[in-house]
């Protein structure tokens, strides 16, 4: 009997953490590309990318994404997934009143225009709190529909990001039922960010089981376990038939008090997958599982 294939997503950077928190965090296109290549060699088949400006702050500038995508594709055929969430600094935010900032919609849209095979789709409205700042990520259904339609028009597969059961039952299910994504639907359950994200779910195996039970028909999933929940959340996802996601975007530590590298986190989850008698999917196998065209590369109309 063939072993079950598991997609391993590496999320190397994100749009929040800085090198001051972990010096191993890659932020510039060349170092991100090199880090991704090492993770690919360790068993990752999808990369969830965030872009940074030269000063390391967040952006969704398509030119930066194209540079990263090109550098990565020169090295390997890992599935490219560009973020339309952006981050909480840099180009992505604007202060609307003292202490209150908004993640800019017009900046988020730029993430679709770099020729990636996939893009994250946060059809969610969130209030985020970091220090003395509060951030609004305002995505009513009309904006979620605009993102989904934009991806469909560009031939991009969405990775739906959800933080609560309501995101699944309302936004994601509504847009899928409108025909804006063909199955299989790839859904990333983001858990354990509830201390900073209003209405987000803490991680527990029971909460994860509930959210998996609510997924639309013909869905596959992975879990972003934030911080110390990353390892446990991944193991729980594997037990429920899901896929794995690791990386410094979600968790800066290998264990308590020990800063991680992306390669370490990838190697550990691959060891666990194999110990559970499964096998990490190759990029070609990941494309087949995700329903992507079985080819690699950046679409020529968006290439540099």
CA distance 16 to 261: 16
Instruction: Write the CA distances from 166 to 2, 84, 198, 201, 210, integer angstroms.
Output: 36, 20, 13, 11, 12
Please indicate, yes or no, if residue 298 is contained in any of the structural domains. no
- DSSP single-letter state for residue 238: H
Please indicate, yes or no, if residue 244 is contained in any of the structural domains. yes
CA angle 147/148/151 to nearest 5° reads 85
- Percent of the chain with pLDDT strictly greater than 90: 94
Please indicate, yes or no, if residue 303 is contained in any of the structural domains. no
234 and 244 in contact (C-beta within 8 Å)?
yes
- The 10s digit of each residue's pLDDT in 165-203 is 999 999 999 999 999 999 999 999 999 999 999 999 999
In this prediction, residue 131 carries a pLDDT of 87
In this prediction, residue 301 carries a pLDDT of 45
In this prediction, residue 295 carries a pLDDT of 59
Q: Which two tokens stand for residue 73?
A: 């594709």
Please indicate, yes or no, if residue 85 is contained in any of the structural domains. yes
Residue span of the structural domain in which 132 resides: 5-290
Q: Which two tokens stand for residue 216?
A: 């639309």
Q: Which helix (H) or strand (E) holds 266?
A: helix 262-275
Q: Which two tokens stand for residue 281?
A: 């999917």
Whether 302 has a pLDDT exceeding 50, the answer reads no
Stretch 203-210: mean pLDDT = 98
Q: In what order do the strands lie in the sheet with 244-246?
A: 219-225, 185-191, 157-162, 118-121, 79-82, 46-49, 8-10, 244-246
Stretch 286-298: mean pLDDT = 82
In this prediction, residue 304 carries a pLDDT of 35
**Lowest mean pLDDT segment, chosen from 66-75, 126-135, 235-244:** 126-135
- The 10s digit of each residue's pLDDT in 39-63 is 999 999 999 999 999 999 999 999 9
CA distance 295 to 304: 19
pTM score, whole prediction: 0.96
In this prediction, residue 299 carries a pLDDT of 52
Please indicate, yes or no, if residue 300 is contained in any of the structural domains. no
CATH number of 251's domain: 3.20.20.70
Pairing status of strand 8-10 against strand 244-246? parallel
Please indicate, yes or no, if residue 295 is contained in any of the structural domains. no
In this prediction, residue 1 carries a pLDDT of 81
Give CA 26 to chain center in angstroms: 16
- If pLDDT is split at 50, 70 and 90, which confidence band does 297 have? low
- The 10s digit of each residue's pLDDT in 96-119 is 999 899 999 999 999 999 999 999
Mean pLDDT over the full length of the chain: 95
Domain count, the chain: 1
In this prediction, residue 293 carries a pLDDT of 86
- The 10s digit of each residue's pLDDT in 26-44 is 999 999 999 999 999 999 9
- The 10s digit of each residue's pLDDT in 212-268 is 999 999 999 999 999 999 999 999 999 999 999 999 999 999 999 999 999 999 999
Q: Which two tokens stand for residue 272?
A: 């666990």
Please indicate, yes or no, if residue 24 is contained in any of the structural domains. yes
Please indicate, yes or no, if residue 213 is contained in any of the structural domains. yes
């Amino acid at each position: 009997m063939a072993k079950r294939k598991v997609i391993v997503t590496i999320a190397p950077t994100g749009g929040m953490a800085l090198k001051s928190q972990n010096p191993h965090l890659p932020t510039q296109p060349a170092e991100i590309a090199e880090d991704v290549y090492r993770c690919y060699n360790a068993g990752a088949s999808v990369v969830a990318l965030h872009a940074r400006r030269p000063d390391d702050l967040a952006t969704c500038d398509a030119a930066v994404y194209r540079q990263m995508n090109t550098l990565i594709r020169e090295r390997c055929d890992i599935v490219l997934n560009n973020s339309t969430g952006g981050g909480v600094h840099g180009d992505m935010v604007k202060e609307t009143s003292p202490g209150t900032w908004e993640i800019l919609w017009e900046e988020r849209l730029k993430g679709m225009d770099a020729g990636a095979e996939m893009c994250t789709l946060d059809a969610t409205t969130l209030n985020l709190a970091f220090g003395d700042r509060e951030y609004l990520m305002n995505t009513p259904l009309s904006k979620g529909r605009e993102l989904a339609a934009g991806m469909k028009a560009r031939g991009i597969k969405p990775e739906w990001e959800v933080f609560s059961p309501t995101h699944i039952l309302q936004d994601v299910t509504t847009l899928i039922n409108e025909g804006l994504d063909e199955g299989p639907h790839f859904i990333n359950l983001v858990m354990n960010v509830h201390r900073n994200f209003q209405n987000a779910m803490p991680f527990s195996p029971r909460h994860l089981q509930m959210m998996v039970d609510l997924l639309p028909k013909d869905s596959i999933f992975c879990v972003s376990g934030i911080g110390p929940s990353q390892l446990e959340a991944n193991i729980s996802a594997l037990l429920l038939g899901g896929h794995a996601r690791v990386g410094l975007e979600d968790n800066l530590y290998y264990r308590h008090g020990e800063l991680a590298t992306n390669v370490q986190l990838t190697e550990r989850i691959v060891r666990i997958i194999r110990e559970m008698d499964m096998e990490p999917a190759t990029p070609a196998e990941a494309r087949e599982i995700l329903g992507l065209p079985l080819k690699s590369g950046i679409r020529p109309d968006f290439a540099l």
